[in-house]
Amino acid sequence: MDNKHIQHLHWRAGFGITPKQLQQYAKKSRKQIVDELFKESKTTTPLLVDTTEIEDYYPELFARNPLKRREFNKKSLEKLKAFNYAWIERLSNPYELLREKMTLFWTNHFVCKDNHIMHVQQFNNTLRAYALGDFRDFVKTISKEAVMIKYLNSKQNKKRKPNENFARELMELFTLGMDNYSEEDIKESARAFTGYNHNFNGEFVLKERQHDYEFKSFFGKRGRYDGDDIIDIILEQKQCAKFISEKIYRYFVNDKVNSKHIQEMVDVFYPNYNIEALMRFVFMSDWFYDEQNIGTKIKSPIDLLIGIQNTVPFTFENEKDVIKIQKILGQALLNPPNVAGWEGGQSWIDSNTIMVRLKLASILLSSSYISNKKKGDFNDAFKQKYYKQNKTKQPFKTQPDWNSFDKEFSDTSFKGLKTNLLSGVINSGTNEFLEDLSKLSKKEFCVQLMSLPEYQMC
C-alpha cells in the first residue's frame, strides 16, 4: 500500500498521520493496515468527567428547595464545558482511533443536545459503544436514551395525546430519509413509542399507563407494536441500508454519491446491519482510493483543529478557549445547530469562517491574531482596538510543543513535509508560492503549509 493511500485512509478514518507512523505501515498490505485500525478499536473506553460534586442532587431536593435546581443546572453546565474539553483531548490522543472518528460521525446522525451532564455523558458513551456495532440495537438503544427522550419530546408522547416528533425524525433523519414513509406511518408509529420516559439518573422507564397497547398499522403490517417492533419493521426496508450507506459515503468517501458504490455497500450492510462489516468493506474497496476521492473533502472544523494538533501538539492556557474556537469555526461539540445537525461539505466555509480557517495554524502555533467574535475581521484596525482594550493579551493563548514536532519530523525534508500535510491536487500557483518560500525554518514552513487553501481539504 503506497504512502498516499495510507495518508488518505488515516485522514478519513482518523485525523491524519505523522511520518514516523507512516513508516510503520510502509511495508504492510492494505488488509493488514485496515485490520489494525479495527483491532485498535475493538475495545471501548468511555469518556468520563468527574461528577461527584453533583451526585448528591435529586428531584425531591429540588421540590423542597428550588434554588438547589438552579445550583445543579449551573454546575452541570460547567461540567459540560469540561466534557467538551475532555472530548477534544480524547480526539487528539485517541485510544481507539476509528471508534472515536465513528463516534464523531454518529453524533451528527443521532443529533440531540441537553444541559444535564449525566445524561449527555451517558448518551455520548452510547454512541461510542455502538459506533462499530449492530445498527439495529443501536437505534433501539438511542430511542430509550434520556437525552433523546427529552430532545424529541417523547415525554409528551402519551396514549391519549401522541406526540409525533420522535417518530418523524426516526424515519426522516435516523433511518429512511425524507419521503420514504407516509404521514399515517408517522401517526401509527408514534403510538408505539408512547410512555417512553426516564428517571433522574437517565435510566429508561416505560410508563405503562401512558403507553398505547392497542393494534397499530405500519408499513402494511398490523400488530400490537411497541417502539422496538417499529424499528425492526423500518430496518426490513432496504431503503434504510441505502440511507445509512449514502450518509457514510458522503462523510468518509466523497460528497458526491456514486450509485454503483452505494449498491455494493447496501449488499454488505443489509439485512444484518453490521457497521464494522460495512466500514471494513469501504476501506478495503479499490474505489475508496480513487484519485477523485483523495483530497476532495473539506475538513470539518474539528478535523481541522485536531489535524493541526496531531502535527504540532498544543494546549490552550484557558480551557474555555477550546469551546470559543469551536464556535468561531462553526462546530461546537455538544451544541448542534438543530435536529438535522451540521450540514457539512461546502457549508463549513463561508466569508466569515474562511479567514479564520486559513489563519488558524498561525493563531494556535505562532501567537497570531484573530477576532474572538464569530463575525470579526482581521485587519490592522481590529488589532489596534484589541490591544488597546486588552493590552498585551492574545485572543487565544496556547503553548505549542515544537519539541514533539522536531522529534517527529526530524528526518523529514521540506518536500516530505509538504507531501505529509497536503492531500490531493496542489494548483500551480501554490506550488510556485511554496518554491519561493524560505527553507530555513521547518516550523515556519509547517505553519505556512497549514495556512494554504489546500490544507483545508483531506
Q: pLDDT tens digits, residue range 156-215?
A: 999 999 999 999 999 999 999 999 999 999 999 999 999 999 999 999 999 999 999 999
Decide if pLDDT at 82 tops 70.
yes
Query: β-strand 216-218 against 204-206: which pairing, if any?
Result: unpaired
Per-residue pLDDT band at 315 (split at 50, 70, 90): very high
pLDDT reported for residue 419: 95
Average pLDDT over residues 300-326: 95
Per-residue pLDDT band at 438 (split at 50, 70, 90): confident
Q: Model-level pTM?
A: 0.93
Decide if pLDDT at 111 tops 50.
yes
Average pLDDT over residues 96-101: 98
pLDDT reported for residue 368: 54
Name the residue among 334, 358, 344 with its Cα closest to residue 83: 334
Q: How far is the C-alpha of 44 from the C-alpha of 112, rounded, in Å?
A: 22
Name the residue among 31, 66, 10 with its Cα closest to residue 307: 10
Residues 6+ apart with CB under 8 A from 233: 218, 219, 221, 225
With H, G, I as helix, E, B as strand and everything else as coil, classify residue 274. strand
pLDDT reported for residue 394: 59
Q: How far is the C-alpha of 350 from the C-alpha of 6, rounded, in Å?
A: 30
DSSP 8-state symbol, 300: P
Decide if pLDDT at 374 tops 80.
no
Average pLDDT over residues 401-406: 96
pLDDT reported for residue 378: 37
Q: How far is the C-alpha of 246 from the C-alpha of 235, rounded, in Å?
A: 15
pLDDT reported for residue 413: 95
pLDDT reported for residue 369: 44
Please report, rounded to a whole number, the percentage of residues in the chain having pLDDT higher than 70: 94
Per-residue pLDDT band at 366 (split at 50, 70, 90): confident
Q: How far is the C-alpha of 243 from the C-alpha of 218, rounded, in Å?
A: 19
Per-residue pLDDT band at 393 (split at 50, 70, 90): low
Decide if pLDDT at 392 tops 80.
no
CA atoms within 13 A on the CB side of 422: 23
Decide if pLDDT at 391 tops 60.
no
Per-residue pLDDT band at 370 (split at 50, 70, 90): very low
pLDDT reported for residue 367: 67
Per-residue pLDDT band at 381 (split at 50, 70, 90): very low
Average pLDDT over residues 5-32: 96
Decide if pLDDT at 220 tops 60.
yes
pLDDT reported for residue 383: 40
CB 193 within 8 A of CB 167: yes
Q: How far is the C-alpha of 9 from the C-alpha of 15, rounded, in Å?
A: 10
Q: What is the mean pLDDT of the chain?
A: 93
Per-residue pLDDT band at 436 (split at 50, 70, 90): confident
pLDDT reported for residue 128: 98
Q: How far is the C-alpha of 414 from the C-alpha of 33, rounded, in Å?
A: 27
Decide if pLDDT at 362 tops 90.
yes
∠ CA 133-129-261, rounded to 5°: 35
Question: Is the model more confident about 270 or about 94?
Answer: 270
Please report, rounded to a whole number, the percentage of residues in the chain having pLDDT higher than 90: 89
Per-residue pLDDT band at 372 (split at 50, 70, 90): very low
Q: What is the DSSP string of 197-245?
A: EE-TTS-EEE-GGGS--S-EEETTEEE---HHHHHHHHHHSHHHHHHHH
